[in-house]
Amino acid sequence: VQLVESGGGLVQPGGSLRLSCSVSGFSITTYNMKWVRQAPGKAPEWLAFSGTDGTTTWYADSVKGRFSIARDNAKNSLFLQMNSLRAEDTAVYYCARFSYASKSMDVWGQGTTVTVSS
């Protein structure tokens, strides 16, 4: 079971990035998934949720309207489209397998770093 994030990097304020999470060892069709980020020196923060039905999505208020979560079942992958990026979006971004029953993330990726700076 492995999650591998990619797509992070340096982007200017107002710019966009698309993060990917490649999943192996299980099918994302049977699991809920989340994106979580951790800014330097701060607590982690959940950003987005994607349900097993492929259509249910929830977002934290801090990213609602700017970020969009999606999944490609054929590629067994999860994505996070990030628009209108701000300096405060600078963080390590993780994808994680989420258990709705226990409200916990039982598998995490190693993260990809996003830096928003001019």
Shortest separation between residue 102's beta carbon and other proteins, angstroms: 5
Largest CA distance in the chain: 42
24 near other proteins, rule: CB under 8 A: no
For the window 41-60, what string marks contact with other proteins as x by the rule CB under 8 A? -xxxxx--x--------x-x
Residue closer to other proteins by CB (options 70, 107) is: 107
Closest CA to 92 of 48, 23, 35, 50: 35
Q: Are 55 and 67 in contact (CB under 8 A)?
A: no
- Token code pair at residue 89: 């979006």
Please tell me whether residue 30 adopts helix, strand or coil conformation. helix
How many angstroms separate the Cα of 84 from the Cα of each of 38, 44, 56, 80? 19, 21, 23, 13
Shortest separation between residue 29's beta carbon and other proteins, angstroms: 21
Q: Which stretch binds other proteins (CB under 8 A): 6-14, 20-28, 80-88, 95-103?
A: 95-103
Shortest separation between residue 13's beta carbon and other proteins, angstroms: 25
Q: What residues make contact with other proteins under the rule CB under 8 A? A: 3, 42-46, 49, 58, 60, 94, 96, 99, 102-111
